[in-house]
Amino acid sequence: MDAVTYPNESVATFIKEKFIPLRVAYDHPELSKKFNVTWTPALFILDEEGVIHHSAVGFLPPEEFIPFGLLGLAKVAFDKGRYDQALCFFDNVIDRHPESSAVPEAIYLKAVCLFKKTNDASVLKKAYEELTVRFPQSEWTKRAYPYRLL
């Protein structure tokens, strides 16, 4: 990450604008245990109380780091019931990073967020249909499978 991803200007700007980054040694006695770090790099997106909402283990190239971060921000907002904010982040992942591996999860969670906001179950079925067309082999398509019946 130090050689490729973090020096990328877009990634560096994104981190500076959206996060308070903290680097901890993988063998830090307390934090590696608290966050169950068994391999590096281990990336975590936490809220202001230190609760993890999104994580990844392993290298992320620059083109995947920003969608990963946006998805994490969306999950923080979603988990805190800030649905409009979450929807903006989900849309950002889907619209601005269409080739990212984060897109299927963003489509799935965007539908869940819309459902929680509106109580309209049709958004879940539409998400399943979109996932089936765009990402037929994705785990998120499989998770959305029951929504086909709505």
Domain residue limits, the chain: 9-149
Pull the structure tokens for residue 79. 């988990």
Q: Give pLDDT, residue 67.
A: 98
pLDDT in tens, 19-50: 999 988 888 889 888 888 988 899 999 999 99
Q: Rounded to two decimals, what is the model's pTM?
A: 0.94
Separation CA 128–CA 115 (nearest Å) = 13
Instruction: Tell me the average confidence (pLDDT) per consecutive run of 10 residues in the chain, 150 residues long.
Output: 94 97 88 88 95 96 98 98 98 98 98 98 98 98 97
Q: Which CATH architecture group holds 9-149?
A: Alpha Horseshoe (1.25)
Residue 74: predicted pLDDT: 98
Predicted pLDDT of residue 38: 86
Q: Buried b / exposed e across 85-97, counting CB within 10 Å, b at 16+?
A: bbbebbebbbeeb
The pLDDT of residue 27 is 86
User: To 10 degrees, what angle do helices 62-79 and 9-18 make?
Assistant: 20
Alpha-carbon gap, residue 85 to 52, rounded angstroms: 18
Q: Decide the pairing of beta strands 42-46 and 52-57.
A: antiparallel
Contact 106, 93 (CB under 8 A): yes
pLDDT of residue 48: 95
